[in-house]
Structure 1
Amino acid sequence: MRGLLLRLSTLDAGAESAVRVIAYFDSLVRDHVGVATLLQATATLAQCPVGLYDAMSGRRWRARPGEKAVAGAEESGGKAVTEKIGERSRDLGALGTVWMECQGDRHGLDEIVMERFAAAAEVTLERTASGTDPALIELVLSAATGEPERARALRLLGFGTGAQLQVIAGQAEDGPALVSWLRARGHHARGTTVGELAVVIAADEVSESPPAVRAGVGPPVPAARVAASWEAARLALRFTGQDGRDRVVRSADLGALALFAAHVPDAAVAELADVRAVASLPPEVAAAVRALCEEGSVRRAAAAVHLHHSSMAARIARAETTLGFSLAAPAGRLRAHLALALTRLLP
């Protein structure tokens, strides 16, 4: 390294210089600097050009010592430049890439500067992404939006018009956790709050289920049909519950249940005799009915919920008295299973 780093290393030991480098970048993060300022400061410290590829916007930034950082369109997806730089680059996953273009022999502090630059860039890009304009997401998700307007909003959000997108709906307070979870798995994701719900748009299909949150997952669709994925995600969210198996529901798994939520008024669902009966069951009895519907026999249901089969049989008998029909036959279990699902639609 040259410039300031060389001056630092002549003043004290290498470890103390490293501490000063760390403090330098920590101060930049603490001051909430933007991308341009971060690159200018890093170029001044390293006395060589530095760059950053922002995967969210598709722009490539570059700064030279003593000059303002400039941004331009990325022509090679962020890869061409970093392939030339080699070890003096860091991949930030879904957020992008940073690199240093120092020439000549490596200096002892190169590695620490590169690491702290990458860490500061990651925080800066995360802050930029979290400041997504909610109006853009609402524009993208509205069925009334024209295709030119939707395409422009998608580009501003960092999504290509040819991308496959998937929408996840959740509780408003879980939105930031959902976005962070998706980005940690390499997805480009943008989220905001619409009314009382969190909405997160993710690039590519989300095959895993987010932990510790209630969420409805819409189907992966072409970018032009993202509004349909949002509608399906909201519908799936209505069927979620507090139980671990029910916390995440995918619209693709609902089958005919989706018709009830989409076309039957909630008041009509609430008036169904089976739904009223199931809703009146004590929690432990309702859990026994659910286990029986899922397992198909009293013994398997008892094993699934860790009950003695005689205790399970007693709870099933109690449920049958309230329901007014037998759960021994498949038809009765189907009625009960449907009623259990429909109780999720009650206010």
Structure 2
Amino acid sequence: MQGLMYRLAELDANSAGLVRVIDYFDALIRHGADTAAMMRASAALADCVVGMDVPGRPEARRCDPRGRWSPQPVRPPSSSKDVVVDDVVVGAVWIERQGPALPLDDMLVDRMALTTAIILQPSRTRTKEDFTTDLLFPSDAMTALASCAALGIDPAAAVRVVVADRPLTVATAGTSVAVTVDSEVLHIVTDPGVVDGSSVGISLPAPARDIHRMIVSARFARSQTSDIRPVVDAVDLGALNLLMPGIGRDSIPDLVRVADVDSELVATLRTYLQSGTYRAAADRLHLHHSSVAHRLTKLSTKLGFAVDSIENRARATAMMMVVDGG
């Protein structure tokens, strides 16, 4: 294990290396490690001295990669993190690395702090609801990744959030469950399929580790529901999602797809939306109206929705406003 951090640091710190370190500490928790075992394991993983200062434990306990203990610091911490239990800071952990910091150092210390907090907190088995809530409302990126691991969800897998006023019968992602926040019930799903209910919003898709960013799109979709349209998918709202804060262009399928569409087809849609009919657009483009219809059908196939239907007019117009605005 000695020097493993150096090998992990050669990997992408936001993916493979990150997941491996999370799994390492998760394994300590699963096997019931105490703070002493956690310290030894952390020092071996980091290949440097680690420290912990928590009331009720030997003051400023330090451990080197060989498992030797010393209460006296030799050098100042190179990275440190508070240990928080039930929203109260109860101590701190740190590492004392000689030389330049490694890309995974801060994340390692974060996991040390989180693992120490779990060991110290009153005994309580965390539930699927706890992990689902943490994934929907993570305190940081590591919490989201740890929640994915606990729920058996690939962090990179595309998932959606379904927001309703009651629990729904849907196939949730991994082992996640419905969670209630205020008056809303949120579900994490891989495929919304046929959602049956009233006042239901479905978010834009996103990798599971980032799905918390898409909750706003699910809520926006829900705000567009009515008696006639009780379920609204944010994907069907297209560029209108940009009305919500935090939603980027690369999250909206319409805008991603239109970037790869022939400019002639896009220009035909622009003229059609400005003209209002096939014939009026054909006159402006010096084409037969059937040619305009053919181009719009081809564009609809590429974008995944009928750009010339009345119900999609706002969606198509919003998309063109973004395209024309750069």
Q: TM-score, normalised by structure 2?
A: 0.32
With normalisation by structure 1, the TM-score equals: 0.31
- The higher radius of gyration belongs to 1
Q: More helix by proportion, 1 or 2?
A: 1
Bigger relative contact order, structure 1 or 2 (CA pairs below 8 A, ≥6 apart): 1
